[in-house]
Amino acid sequence: MLKVNENFVKLPASYLFVDIARKVNVFSKQHPETEIIRLGIGDVTRPLPKAVVKAMQAAAEEMGRAETFRGYGPEAGYEFLRAAIAENDFIKHGVQIDTGEIFVSDGAKSDTGSIGDIFGVDNVVAVCDPVYPVYVDTNVMAGRAGEYREGSGWSKIVYMPCLKENNFLPVLPKEHADIIYLCFPNNPSGVGIGRDELKKWVDYALANQSVILYDAAYEAFITDKDMPHSIYEIEGAKKCAIEFRSFSKTAGFTGTRCAYTMIPKDLVFGGVSLNKLWDRRQSTKMNGVSYIVQRGAEAVFSEEGKREVKENIAYYLNNAKIIVDGLSKAGFEVYGGVNSPYVWLKTPDGLTSWEFFDLLLEKTGVVGTPGSGFGVGGEGYFRLTSFNTKENTQKAVERIIEYFQA
């Protein structure tokens, strides 16, 4: 008789953002007159940079000619893109990265979810609380999480509370952790991490022979000079950290799909190279990102591409400022939104995260994300994103203020 992976059965029936979409769709059918403004899922609204579109068009033309047609590409990515990433995102900032340490993929979500394939099931996993649900759910799927305990989370996962008193930064775990997930600027809280604070984590990982899985998908939003854009700016990190980056939020690739993961060749545990393990995993389970998309990603690093991406980032950061300034003046307790596209706010009047979600949707037509969806530590908080248009962002803030000040 066929047996299923019982770990999947332990998970909630659907993913957080699927639940939100379902609720919104039901409400929309019941209230077709209400204009919905979505500040929930982290999807962008600005179009692809013109430089990217031009490069993709040229690449598509190449694929239509026999003499320039390409079939399967290298699983880890074409050298032209890996070289552009190494030069522009690392070497120019004083971080030496070899192209053989860069793996191009279809998304940071895919990579942060799949990286566990190269680690043993008995490793102890530590996550921030609240946290991006993919980190936890994929470890549940793999069998590392244990059993779910209502109100406290999974029995085998080490939770690192991110409290207001500590500026929503995690504290080093008292228990030993083999795998540590860190995301900065943080999703969902929107806070960044300073150089000295990040060094504590690198020192911990080196001392405990742990690996840090560092999600830097939002590094382009950093404006604070004291905040490192890469964990590899910290001495010793290449011996203990894997870094994930993405073109999704920076260059609008959410619907185009392209990202990259750095696994230094210095990452060796028990005599085994993690770089080689990931290369083996990727070459077995995927055939790489399309040539057309990779040419588009390469164009992000052109002078025109860099200028257009900076304009997009500035646009979204301004939206975040609109949310932070407007809600702060209205009396809300608001965090993030400075080095990040995410705004983290305390739910008012003792409302739970989902109660606040329902209230906002019903009374204002604004959609956000309940903090409890990111873990037990997110209860009583709510995430708003700055990825909608400026006009819709202003309208959403005005609606919220108008309702709560009525």
Contacts of 137 (CB under 8 A, 6+ apart): 11, 15, 113
Which pLDDT belongs to residue 180?
98
When pLDDT is cut at 50, 70 and 90, the band that residue 16 belongs to is: confident
Task: Give Cβ neighbours of residue 4 (< 8 Å, ≥ 6 apart).
Answer: none
Cα–Cα dist 175/188, whole Å: 24
Q: What is the pLDDT of residue 19?
A: 84
Q: What is the mean pLDDT of residues 46-63?
A: 98
Q: What is the mean pLDDT of residues 191-201?
A: 97
Using only the alpha carbons of the chain, give its radius of gyration.
Answer: 21
CA distances (Å), origin 120, targets 90, 124, 179: 30, 10, 10
pTM flag (> 0.85): yes
**Of the candidates 231, 216, 211, which has an alpha carbon nearest to the alpha carbon of residue 273?**
211
* pLDDT classification of 14: cutoffs 50, 70, 90: low
CATH code, 52-302: 3.40.640.10
CA distance 255 to 72: 21
Q: What is residue 201's predicted lDDT score, i.e. its pLDDT? A: 98
Query: What three-state secondary structure class fits 364?
Result: helix
CB atoms within 10 A of CB 398: 14
Q: How far is CA 366 from CA 23, 27, 42, 253, 369, in A?
A: 12, 12, 14, 24, 10
Amino acid of residue 77:
G
- Mean per-residue pLDDT for 61-67? 98
What average pLDDT does this structure show over 374-387?
96
Residue 383, beta-bridge partner list: 344, 369
Q: Are 216 and 230 in contact (CB under 8 A)?
A: yes
For 6-47+304-404, the fitting CATH number among 3.40.50.1980, 3.90.1150.10, 3.40.190.150, 3.40.50.740 is 3.90.1150.10
Using the predicted structure, report yes or no on whether residue 231 has a pLDDT greater than 80: yes
pLDDT in tens, 293-304: 999 999 999 999
Task: Indicate the burial class of 375 (C-beta count within 10 angstroms; 0-12, 13-18, 19 or more).
Answer: buried
Residue intervals in the chain for CATH 3.40.640.10: 52-302
pLDDT for residue 396 is more than 90: yes
46-364-218-391 Cα dihedral, nearest 10 degrees: 30
Q: pLDDT-derived band of residue 13, with 50, 70 and 90 as boundaries? A: low
Instruction: Give start-end residues of each CATH 3.90.1150.10 domain in the chain.
Output: 6-47+304-404
Position of tokens 């404006």? 223
Per-residue pLDDT averaged across 46-71, rounded?
98
Distances (CA, A) of 162 to 63, 129, 218, 305: 48, 6, 18, 36
Assess whether pLDDT exceeds 90 at residue 12. no
Statement: residue 286 has pLDDT above 80: yes
Tokens of 258: 């392209």
pLDDT one-digit tens code per residue, 91-125: 999 999 999 999 999 999 999 999 999 999 999 99
Query: What percentage of residues in the chain have a pLDDT greater than 90?
Result: 93
Dmax (CA) of the chain? 67
Angle (CA) 366-370-372 rounded to 5° is 175
Q: Is pLDDT of 15 > 80?
A: no
Residue where the block lists tokens 């320039």: 68
Rounded Cα gap, residues 378 and 380, in angstroms = 6
What would the mean pLDDT of 197-204 be, rounded to a whole number?
A: 98
Q: What is the pLDDT of residues 311-349, one digit of tens each?
A: 999 999 999 999 999 999 999 999 999 999 999 999 999
Both tokens of 273, joined, read: 């190279």
